Amino acid sequence: MIEINNLHKSFGSLEVLKGIDLTLEKGKVLAIIGPSGSGKTTLLRCFNLLEVPDQGMMKIGEMSLQFQQGNGIRTADTLALRKRTGMVFQSFNLFPHMTAIQNIMEAQVTVQGKSKAAARSRAAELLGKVGLGDKADAYPHQLSGGQQQRIAIARAMALDPDVLLFDEPTSALDPELVGDVLKVIRQLAAEGMTMVIVTHEMRFAENVADHIVMMDGGVIVESGPPEQVIGNPRSPRAIQFLNRVTNYDVT
């Protein structure tokens, strides 16, 4: 489903990704963890070309792209890739002048060319799926942060993407609102949705991910199943990081 080979990305003289290699099978969940500045969000943004890699190869589904510094990516390829990937941002990014159901309908109408009736039907279905069927006509300012994030997840799902991408989906939420969002993500994982999740919630990553990679300094320093990466890490840097962010000793 996803294959990345020798992916590099720099911003000016700062090399943020230094040759990333990873694969993810269809229907699996990948969690990306690591300290701030490790490159994990940049990597996630490369998946849907919000950041264009300087070098390397990326394959999502049947679509494969080669990157070389100085060579741009065709607009058609960018649009095609973004149709395969649904992005959920930490800051929700809902349209404030649209109701919940209108937010979910918008891309279906403008990108997929669906009729408003068909888009509304699909949006209503997704609102129910994220537990917000009674909030169809609410505007973002009338919703809690957790509710807005669940609307954002429904909006990302509306285009039936091959992969859902989550950038710290709970970092902007009050602690008491985190559970409802994580419950939706767990449900999607149980249904076999392919997902890549950048997260600081170690217990969540351990419980929901099939595979975890830890990044530091633009490289992957630990990679494997949760029981190995979280419970029995091998690299000194992973041991140091996990001992700082968890309440249990991983040495």
What is the per-residue pLDDT across 117-175, written as a single tens digit (0 to 9) for each? 999 999 999 999 999 999 999 999 999 999 999 999 999 999 899 999 999 988 878 88
Determine, yes or no, domain membership for 143: yes
d(C-alpha 170, C-alpha 76), whole Å: 32
Number of domains in the chain: 1
Determine, yes or no, domain membership for 250: no
Determine, yes or no, domain membership for 62: yes
Measured in whole angstroms, the distance separating CA 207 from the mean position of its chain's CA atoms is 17
Determine, yes or no, domain membership for 148: yes
- What is the average pLDDT across 53-70? 92
Determine, yes or no, domain membership for 251: no
Q: What is the 3-state secondary structure (H, E, C) of 177-245?
A: HHHHHHHHHHHHHHCCCEEEEECCCHHHHHHHCCEEEEEECCEEEEEECHHHHCCCCCCHHHHHHHHHH
pLDDT at residue 59 is higher than 90: yes
At 94, which CATH number?
Answer: 3.40.50.300
Other Cβ atoms less than 10 A from the Cβ of 182: the count is: 19
**What are the CA-CA distances from residue 105 to residues 1, 84, 117, 161, 201 (Å)?**
27, 17, 9, 15, 30
- What is the average pLDDT across 36-50? 94
d(C-alpha 166, C-alpha 195), whole Å: 8
- Which residue range is the domain that position 148 belongs to? 2-245
Torsion angle, CA of 86/211/128/138, rounded to 10 degrees?
-60
Determine, yes or no, domain membership for 118: yes
Where b means 16+ CB within 10 Å and e means fewer, 205-221 reads bbebbbbbbbbbebbbb
Dump pLDDT digits (tens) for 207-241: 889 999 999 999 999 999 999 999 899 999 999 99
Residue found under tokens 């489903």: 1
Residue found under tokens 């940049």: 42
